Amino acid sequence: MKPGKFGSWICARLPVLECWQAAFKQYYVAKNLNIYYCFGVLAIVILANQLLTGFWLTLFYTPTVQEAFQSIEIIMRDVSFGWLFRYMHSTGASAFFIVMYLHVFRGLLYGSYQRPRELVWLLGMLLFVLLIMESFFGYLLPWGQLSYWGAQVITAIFGVIPYVGDTLVTWVRGDFSVGQPTLQRFFALHVIGIPFLLMLFTVLHIVALRYVGSSNPEGIDIQRYVDSQGKPLDAVAFYPYYVMKDWLAVMIFLLIFFGIVFFFPDMGGYFLEPANSEPANPLVTPTPMTPLWYMAPFYCMLRAVPHKLGGVLVMTAALWILFLLPWLDKSKVRSMRYKGLYSKIALTLMVASFITLGYLGTREPTRVTQILAQSATLIYFAYFLLMPLYSRLESTRAVPRRINA
């Protein structure tokens, strides 16, 4: 399609065509990408949704202790389609984590973090941490009971650091306990600070991926066999093939997403918690005190360790150990399809333990569930810490040279 007059004027001044060629028409991707490979584009769609609906919400939201809760009720009741944007934003937050967890799982399954994609993985992990921070800051904004007390509990975590802990807690909160200064700075961080970083690192994440090329479920390096023009033999152009595939994935996702938004936005109390439907009361702690479902695995680990500082260290380590994954995996092959039995068992156990921790994190602890949570935490860490051992010792299958999709 040749650009018209206006198009030519732009193309003479911006490298639009060159970017289009490099990023879409002449970006070659393995022809065997499966459903796990669509969660990246879904994450971009959800990020766009959060930015747009979030911006819209800031037009009506008031970040003061006296009016925050009321402004959200006004959005839900009196603003035209306010309920739609609010539900899109809250469902989008949970959808973001579902998509992101599946996206990371794809990475674990197919060894996408291995050389030469370590930086893609690191940037992705950074995005994960930023997303957790973004959701935490955003959760205070409705100023409900769980919002207030959740912020109170999590900011108190900094207090375990020796010597500087208490000063740090006061500094983060802006006051001795969560209040107006906290709400205001969390609002600024949620609306400007973190989204800016999210957008920046998303761009870097995609650029880093495009630079080294996408992997595939077989873990085969498609650049090894190229034709006379340098096009990989086992690849297809991103446009039109994967644009079409992603488009279908986006359509199916939107159907499920809007099904939830219109018919079941609170998802049985997991996406929008009932206990947050009353304004914050500093004198009354809600029972039970549970985090949102997507933070539940890490919260469960924090709670499983009886020692305060130990719990914080374990929870933090659970997050940061993911960064080390490219250097923990000593396997000769990338994809789980060709890895040995140990890796398959380890990954299955890790996913099972993560889901168990997530479930237990939303429940009140008992003696039995505490033991279960501690075991699940050990299994989770074993996946990472034993990986240099079992990934090297196991017998892997020979990886084919070409993709026979």
In the complex, the residues that contact another protein under the rule CB under 8 A are 70, 73-74, 76-78, 83-84, 87, 244, 247-248, 251-252, 254-256, 258-264, 266, 268, 272, 274-275, 277-278
**CA-based max dimension of the chain:** 74
CB of 72 to another protein, least distance (A): 9
* Residue with Cβ nearer another protein (258 or 323): 258
Of residues 176 and 263, the one with the C-beta less far from another protein: 263
Q: Per-residue b/e over 124-159, b at no fewer than 16 CB within 10 Å?
A: bbbbbebbbbbbbbbbbbbbbbbbbbbbbebbbbbb
**Residue of 147, 182, 195, 187 whose CA lies nearest to 61:** 187
For residue 229 the two structure tokens come to 């023009």
Ramachandran quadrant class, 81 (left: phi over 0; alpha: psi -120 to 50; beta: rest): left
CB nearer to another protein: pick between 78 and 227: 78
- Enter the tokens of residue 130: 């930023």
CB of 245 to another protein, least distance (A): 10
Cβ-proximal residues to 262 (8 Å cutoff; 6+ apart), any chain: 87
Closer to another protein at the Cβ: 65 or 372? 65
Beta bridge partners of 237: 28
Minimum CB–partner distance for residue 269 and another protein (Å): 8
Coil, strand or helix at 237: strand
Q: Least CB distance from residue 32 to another protein, whole Å?
A: 18
Q: By C-beta, is 192 or 267 nearer to another protein?
A: 267
- Closer residue to another protein in complex, CB, 267/378: 267
State the helix-helix crossing angle for 118-140 and 145-156, rounded to 10 degrees: 130
Min separation Cβ 289 and another protein, Å = 16
C-alpha–C-alpha distance, residues 185 and 129, integer Å: 19
Per the structure block, which two tokens stand in for 11?
């193309």
The CB-of-49 to another protein minimum distance in angstroms stands at 14
Closest separation between CB of residue 394 and another protein, Å? 38
Three-state SS letters, 307-320: CHHHHHHHHHHHHH
94 vs 155, which CB is nearer to another protein? 94
